[in-house]
């Protein structure tokens, strides 16, 4: 039986090497990959999410934990079956055109991955048509957009308008966030959801897609 308590602890500590070792041990014991993910890796990251929301952990620590979780996931991912993958929620994530800030978006992506979702991170400074193409091509369940500048947040509305023009708006849940973005703004531009931080974004996406 893998030592999940220790695995969770090492994810929380952001200890990549220890997480890799414990994950490999669990794999060598022929443990179900899904069990390793849910009982050890994601379960540890869930604690991190809660502590971050409560203000008991800070961005650099969360990034370390997310890296440790990812290091374990990289060993487990090749063992997942096609059926395991099909069940997964697909999220396309981008920072909108004109905006180069990506630290918050990356945190959101890591949290979503820790929730077992498939994240297609398009990067920063993404024009609306490229975002919409990626939503279509990946048959995304959720589009997550981030903006950190008051001058670029309006671009989110533009993306939603392009989604509407292309007849895709009803097929995808649109989630927006970033320091200047408020719930009121999200409602005004027709987004389906807004989250103040990465851990809340994961909770909301889980709600939206369940
Ligand atoms: Co810039 N910058 N920056 N910057 N920068 C801010 C945002 C600013 C507030 C600084 C200031 O003036 N006090 C200001 C914006 C002012 C405004 O618009 N009102 C600003 C400015 C003006 C600029 C430039 C224009 C500066 C210049 O060149 N004159 C320029 C613009 C470049 C561009 O984008 N075109 C610029 C450039 C940069 C750097 C490149 C140097 C760097 C970015 C590096 C990078 O991201 N790779 C940078 C940084 C680091 C900052 C600050 C200092 C920190 C931002 C950050 O990473 N925060 C920032 C000031 C500040 O916030 N103290 C500032 C940490 C991060 C974890 O938080 O991104 O808010 P945040 O993400 C949170 C939530 O918002 C939420 O979850 C995250 C974590 O829980 N969230 C989501 C984010 N995205 C979400 C998506 C979701 C849900 C939740 O769903 C999809």
Of all atoms in ligand 1, which is nearest to the CA of residue 102? 46
What does the pLDDT read at residue 33? 86
Distance 99 CA to ligand 1 centre (A): 9
Q: Is the model's pLDDT at 87 over the cut of 90?
A: no
What does the pLDDT read at residue 199? 85
Q: Is the model's pLDDT at 60 over the cut of 90?
A: yes
The per-residue pLDDT for range 18-38, each reduced to its tens digit, is 999 999 999 999 998 888 988
β-strand 193-194 against 173-177: which pairing, if any?
A: parallel
User: What does the chain come to in residues?
Assistant: 210
Query: For the residues 77-104, what does the mean pLDDT come to?
Result: 85
Distance 59 CA to ligand 1 centre (A): 13
Of all atoms in ligand 1, which is nearest to the CA of residue 148? 7
Distance 73 CA to ligand 1 centre (A): 28
Give, in order, the Cα–Cα distances in Å from 126 to each of 93, 95, 131, 146.
10, 6, 7, 10
CATH architecture of 90-209: 3-Layer(aba) Sandwich (3.40)
Distance 197 CA to ligand 1 centre (A): 13
CATH architecture of 4-79: Orthogonal Bundle (1.10)
Mutational test site, ligand 1, from 52, 64, 104, max ligand atoms within 8 Å of CB: 104
Q: Where in the chain is the domain with CATH 1.10.1240.10?
A: 4-79
Q: Where in the chain is the domain with CATH 3.40.50.280?
A: 90-209
For ligand 1, say whether the CB of 72 is within 6 Å of any of its atoms: no
Distance 146 CA to ligand 1 centre (A): 10
The per-residue pLDDT for range 99-152, each reduced to its tens digit, is 999 988 988 998 888 778 899 999 999 999 999 999 999 999 999 999 999 999
Q: Is the model's pLDDT at 83 over the cut of 90?
A: no
Distance (Å, whole) CA 163 – CA 55: 35
Q: Is the model's pLDDT at 194 over the cut of 80?
A: yes
β-strand 90-95 against 118-121: which pairing, if any?
A: parallel
Query: For the residues 77-83, what does the mean pLDDT come to?
Result: 74
Q: Predicted confidence band at 9 (pLDDT cuts at 50, 70, 90)? A: very high
pTM: predicted TM-score of the whole model, two decimal places: 0.87
What does the pLDDT read at residue 86? 58
């Amino acid at each position: 039986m893998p030592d999940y308590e220790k695995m969770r602890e090492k994810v929380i500590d952001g200890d990549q090497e220890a997480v890799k070792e414990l994950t490999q041990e669990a794999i060598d014991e022929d443990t179900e990959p899904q069990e390793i993910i849910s009982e050890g890796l994601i379960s540890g990251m869930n604690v991190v999410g809660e502590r971050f929301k409560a203000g008991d952990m800070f961005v650099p620590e969360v990034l370390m934990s997310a890296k440790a979780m990812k290091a374990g996931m990289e060993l487990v991912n090749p063992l997942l079956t096609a059926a395991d993958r099909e069940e997964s929620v697909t999220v396309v994530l981008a920072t909108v055109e004109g905006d180069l800030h990506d630290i918050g978006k990356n945190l959101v992506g890591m949290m979503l991955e820790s929730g077992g979702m498939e994240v297609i991170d398009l990067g920063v400074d993404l024009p609306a048509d490229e975002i919409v193409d990626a939503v279509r091509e990946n048959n995304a369940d959720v589009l997550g957009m981030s903006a950190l500048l008051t001058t670029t947040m309006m671009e989110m509305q533009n993306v939603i308008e392009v989604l509407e023009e292309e007849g895709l708006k009803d097929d995808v849940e649109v989630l927006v966030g970033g320091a200047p973005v408020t719930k009121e703004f999200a409602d005004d531009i027709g987004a389906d959801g807004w989250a103040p931080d990465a851990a809340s974004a994961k909770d909301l996406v889980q709600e939206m897609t369940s």
